[in-house]
Structure 1
């Protein structure tokens, strides 16, 4: 008997324009000890299936047909009380966004203890000890101390590990993992995936793994189901589906996966269904001011940047404790190149980028831009520097103001710096939205009306509004599926080719780094341990830590050579 079975599942959402069918006649099963992968583009219905299993379909959405069974018993028709008895105790879910999964007003220990005591018959002391054990199990160092901290004191990757610890609290029989490794670097991703595989193997836990990372699918799952526009288009053993995909959409999806073994000129776009987006970045080059710095000469020079954060406050200085997030970083970024920055979660990558951008003051060191010293201390950076440098943030959901229309969001930087006014500004905004494939009409809408990939394109349009010469990309594609990721990365490649932009590209996805970057710096515990040309780094990493990261990179051995060669 299957641990979890879904037969003919259909989920509908009534709207003013008619009924939207999010999932149509979907079938899948999960056996004890089996990891079942669920892949597809944004909007394919993957997360909707996970929500249906957990009984978390938001009204007016409803299960319009089909049955969900747990150990043979139908659970799709249970009332709220019946689902509460299953949810968390027998079936747990790991949500994609750790910020919305954790209560900012409670410590991590309090949240774990509450969940443990709700489902298990343990005392406060026993539950507290189990909470610390779970924190350590998901790879967080110094668990006793970190347990008493609040979610905002953790990095994005660490918050995701706390969410995973919450899902494991009750020793569930089924885990629905919705993009559980999206915000994690390769080393922590490997720990989490090993933990999931261990649970499946030793405790016979059934896992539904929803992810856009085909490397994770190839490396972790036993069975994979491919979804397209709410329907299952292909399903079977992972090696068979990835090694010899039968459906055109499956073939197209695999072709869009970044290659870990060879560098490509461009990323292939998913053409199934006629939905390839056209970008015309080259048109922007007409009036784009060319940089004064000759190509190949240093544009940004980082000289000994150091940043400390106080972790324990005290009146006496001797009792204060500090965390050194960035420790005397030194490197240069040359005009026209893409410089990559990789490392584990908490290694200091984003902190370093924010100091370069002038968003964080540095404690020591300086940044030189085109030979001019930029004061990154408490006084901030000059306004002309902020015009020349722009940043694309990791999360396209929180980096856009939900109360502003898209045209106002894109226009704001140019208006602030006085570059365009009136009709010229409106024309500029319309042109930018058109060039990134959204169309000028997108300016009349609000951010919530767009998908994650579309919102990231709005962020790119906003970053281009001041005609910058230096672009900082902080995990710009980590929350996107492979098809949208290919579109965004192609835009960035076009920006470099046609506008001669210089970029700092931060990512935990090593195959993406190989495709995008000319040189790469590797960070560990706030220090740059290695800097090398990208091909040299991947062919022969010089530092032990770099070799460790490379060894943890998910391999695509299960993917068909034919599909990969399409790239």
Structure 2
């Protein structure tokens, strides 16, 4: 008997322009102890299926057909009160975005304890004890301290671990995991996936794992369902679907996965269904290329950053956490330098120090032979910021939702250039055309675009000042494999054709292998190894690097069979 079954599920959203069919006649079954993968591009309907099971379809949308059964009980038509009783106690969800899933006004301990007491009727001290044990189980060190901290005091990966702890704390029968490892490095990802496997095996929990990571699908799931534009196009045992895919869309999706075993010049794009808009690098650059330079373009020496962990009026009682500890490396002009390491290892902190967003506690940043930083004179700092720009991890939160796209792309030009209004409008139009969105996109707002389109807007904004150096902080972690391939090809074209230099931060090791010339490995704020990319992947020297590579999900597609 199946634990959860979906038959002919349809979900629609009525709009002023007509009805949007988000899911149409979808089906899948989950047996006790089974992990069922759900894959497809952004907009395929994967998360909508999960929301329908949870009774979380936003009005005016709703289920328009089909049935959802939990232990043979129909739950698709239950009222709010009945669904509230199932949600959390019988079905839990691990949400993709930990920033919106956690209450910023409550400590993480309060949120887990509150959930436990509501569903399990536990005394507060017992709930607190279980919550701390659960934080340890999902890989959060020093649970006694972390229990009393707020979400903003955690890194992105650590916040995701808290969200996973929240989903597990009520001992549910079914877990819907919507991109649960998107923000996690390979070591914590392996730990979380081992935990999900253990729950499925020991407690016979059924899991629907929604992800764009085909390596995770290959290693963890028992069965997989592939969705395209709201419809199921293929389903079956994982090994059969991945090794001998029958549908052309499934074959195209698998081909777009970055290979962990060999470096390719470009990422294959999914042409099924009409393909993707092309990028015009000449239009993006306007004939401009970054000037060449002798020696390192960027050099960091002894970079150190400490954050206050426990505040006090008395300096002697303050406690500090060292996020970056004496880090040194250099990047040559035209080079792509990768930075990898666990969540909380200091990768993003290094990037923000280089970008002069954080002050340095010790060390020096030198760009093209000149020392720079937040304490540099205003004209020097502005000149530096024209030449160095960032593409952030989250295309949702890095764009101001109240500004039109043309104003977002033009903003750095207003602050960092002396161009007049007409010149700025021409540059913005050319940038939007260059990233394949068209100048008409400038009159729209960020919420009207998909995640991949928003990341194209971020790239256009980063290139507005014609920088020499790009910091790419997890630029594709929130994107599915097809859009990821597209964005990474754009970055490759920019580097090759415009001689751009890049710092590329990622926890996705196959992507790092494809993108980078050299790689630095960070652990607990310290740089433990720097090597040429192929040398590092083929013969890593440091034990920590070897462990990261051992934990990397390995999926090479049908050709490996």
Relative to the length of structure 1, the TM-score reads 0.97
Q: What residue in structure 2 maps to residue 471 of structure 1? A: 470
Q: Relative to 1, partners in 2 of residues 1:562 and 1:347: Cα closer, same or farther, differing over 3 Å?
A: closer
Q: Runs of 4 or more off by more than 6 Å in structure 1?
A: 378-381
Aligned-pair CA distance for 1:373: 1.2
Q: Relative to 1, partners in 2 of residues 1:533 and 1:80: Cα closer, same or farther, differing over 3 Å?
A: same
Aligned-pair CA distance for 1:81: 1.0
Distance in 1 (CA, whole Å) between partners of 2:363 and 2:38 is 47
Q: What residue in structure 1 maps to residue 528 of structure 2? A: 529
Q: Do the aligned partners of 1:167 and 1:175 also contact (CA within 8 Å) in 2? A: yes
Question: Is structure 2 residue 339 aligned with structure 1 residue 332?
Answer: no
Q: What residue in structure 2 maps to residue 401 of structure 1? A: 400
Aligned-pair CA distance for 1:421: 1.9
Q: What residue in structure 1 maps to residue 459 of structure 2? A: 460
SS in 2 for 1:382: helix
Question: Is structure 2 residue 430 aligned with structure 1 residue 431?
Answer: yes
Q: What residue in structure 2 maps to residue 501 of structure 1? A: 500
Greater mean deviation of Cα atoms: 371-380 or 438-447: 371-380
Q: Do the aligned partners of 1:5 and 1:28 also contact (CA within 8 Å) in 2? A: yes
Q: What residue in structure 2 maps to residue 37 of structure 1? A: 37
Distance in 2 (CA, whole Å) between partners of 1:11 and 1:509 is 33
Q: What residue in structure 1 maps to residue 152 of structure 2? A: 152
Distance in 2 (CA, whole Å) between partners of 1:43 and 1:372 is 46
Greater mean deviation of Cα atoms: 268-277 or 511-520: 268-277
- 1:545-564 map, 5 Å: 545-556=544-555, 559-561=557-559
Distance in 1 (CA, whole Å) between partners of 2:374 and 2:351 is 12
Distance in 1 (CA, whole Å) between partners of 2:446 and 2:374 is 32
Q: What residue in structure 1 maps to residue 355 of structure 2? A: 357
Alpha-carbon displacement from aligned partner over 1:145-174 (angstroms, at most 9, x marks no partner): 100100000000000000000001110000
Q: Do the aligned partners of 1:363 and 1:377 also contact (CA within 8 Å) in 2? A: no
Q: Do the aligned partners of 1:400 and 1:447 also contact (CA within 8 Å) in 2? A: yes
Aligned-pair CA distance for 1:318: 2.8
Greater mean deviation of Cα atoms: 548-557 or 48-57: 548-557
Q: What residue in structure 2 maps to residue 70 of structure 1? A: 70
Structure 1: gaps spanning 5 or more residues: none
Greater mean deviation of Cα atoms: 461-470 or 427-436: 427-436
Q: Do the aligned partners of 2:283 and 2:433 also contact (CA within 8 Å) in 1? A: no
Q: Do the aligned partners of 1:285 and 1:498 also contact (CA within 8 Å) in 2? A: no
Q: Do the aligned partners of 2:354 and 2:373 also contact (CA within 8 Å) in 1? A: no
Q: What residue in structure 2 maps to residue 488 of structure 1? A: 487
SS in 1 for 2:56: coil
Distance in 2 (CA, whole Å) between partners of 1:198 and 1:494 is 43
Question: Is structure 2 residue 240 aligned with structure 1 residue 233?
Answer: no
Q: What residue in structure 2 maps to residue 447 of structure 1? A: 446
Question: Is structure 2 residue 129 aligned with structure 1 residue 133?
Answer: no
Distance in 1 (CA, whole Å) between partners of 2:535 and 2:158 is 31
Aligned-pair CA distance for 1:416: 1.5
Aligned-pair CA distance for 1:374: 1.2
Aligned-pair CA distance for 1:287: 2.7
Aligned-pair CA distance for 1:286: 4.7
Distance in 1 (CA, whole Å) between partners of 2:417 and 2:164 is 47
SS in 1 for 2:277: coil
Q: What residue in structure 2 maps to residue 121 of structure 1? A: 121
Aligned-pair CA distance for 1:420: 2.6
Q: Do the aligned partners of 1:419 and 1:466 also contact (CA within 8 Å) in 2? A: no
SS in 2 for 1:368: strand
Aligned-pair CA distance for 1:283: 3.8
Distance in 2 (CA, whole Å) between partners of 1:286 and 1:399 is 25
Q: What residue in structure 1 maps to residue 373 of structure 2? A: 375
Aligned-pair CA distance for 1:11: 0.3
Alpha-carbon displacement from aligned partner over 1:196-221 (angstroms, at most 9, x marks no partner): 00000111000000000000000100
Distance in 2 (CA, whole Å) between partners of 1:518 and 1:376 is 29
Distance in 2 (CA, whole Å) between partners of 1:245 and 1:276 is 22
> How many residues end up aligned between the 2 structures?
560
Distance in 2 (CA, whole Å) between partners of 1:37 and 1:456 is 26
Aligned-pair CA distance for 1:290: 3.3
Distance in 2 (CA, whole Å) between partners of 1:430 and 1:379 is 33
Distance in 2 (CA, whole Å) between partners of 1:118 and 1:182 is 29
Aligned-pair CA distance for 1:562: 7.4
Relative to the length of structure 2, the TM-score reads 0.98
Distance in 2 (CA, whole Å) between partners of 1:316 and 1:83 is 51
Distance in 2 (CA, whole Å) between partners of 1:129 and 1:326 is 32
Q: What residue in structure 2 maps to residue 414 of structure 1? A: 413
Q: Relative to 1, partners in 2 of residues 1:526 and 1:377: Cα closer, same or farther, differing over 3 Å?
A: farther
Q: Do the aligned partners of 1:356 and 1:376 also contact (CA within 8 Å) in 2? A: no
Q: Do the aligned partners of 1:394 and 1:474 also contact (CA within 8 Å) in 2? A: yes
Greater mean deviation of Cα atoms: 31-40 or 415-424: 415-424
SS in 2 for 1:403: coil
Distance in 1 (CA, whole Å) between partners of 2:467 and 2:418 is 12
Alpha-carbon displacement from aligned partner over 1:249-280 (angstroms, at most 9, x marks no partner): 00000000001001111001100011322111
Distance in 2 (CA, whole Å) between partners of 1:289 and 1:498 is 7
Aligned-pair CA distance for 1:229: 0.1
Root-mean-square deviation over aligned CA pairs: 1.2
